[in-house]
Amino acid sequence: MPFFNRFARLLSADLNALLDRIEEPALLARQALRDMEQELVAMAGRARALGAADDALAREDAHLADALARLDGELDSCFAANEDALARDLVRRKLEHARRREDIAHTRERHAAARAELAESEAATRAELTALRARLAALSEPAAAPAAGTIVAATPSAAEIDIALLHEKQQRREQRT
């Protein structure tokens, strides 16, 4: 069994090395760029959905506030007429509206927290996207020419090697004589 384990590990290492050579960094960076752009679009969609839901909750809250004001007026009339049975139903509805307004307030707080977290995540993703674009630009650019005054070790051509070889042979002949 140890032989097969070692063989499998060797095969896996060779395949991973082959894949590393095959994968082009620029292609991987472009795919990551597309993925990040799609994530930003999705984040914007979630932010719009949260905003729309929050707007709907605000409208419902305003409607409930108006209904509570009407119920207060109706309760005043019931108490003036000593209609406790009718007032009991109005108090029940008033409590239901008040509880729903509390639920709406909590939900809007959660939406605000989610929007803040989403904005923070979007800012981080935008920063990563900017860095990735810069890296992709660097990968796409041809190698820059060396700056003036920089010493570059060039590989000698075959002709230069042949000439240098002839000079070396001639110097050696002259030294022997």
Residue 171's pLDDT band (boundaries 50, 70, 90)?
confident
Distance CA 99, CA 111 (A): 18
Alpha-carbon Rg for the chain, nearest whole angstrom, is: 39
| Domain boundaries along the sequence of the chain | 2-151
What's the pLDDT at 41? 93
Q: Please report, rounded to a whole number, the percentage of residues in the chain having pLDDT higher than 70.
A: 81
Q: Which of 95, 75, 100, 96 is nearest to 85 (CA)?
A: 75
User: Residue 151 corresponds to which tokens in the numbers above?
Assistant: 């010493």
Distance CA 51, CA 31 (A): 30
- pTM for this one? 0.59
Residue 7's pLDDT band (boundaries 50, 70, 90)?
low
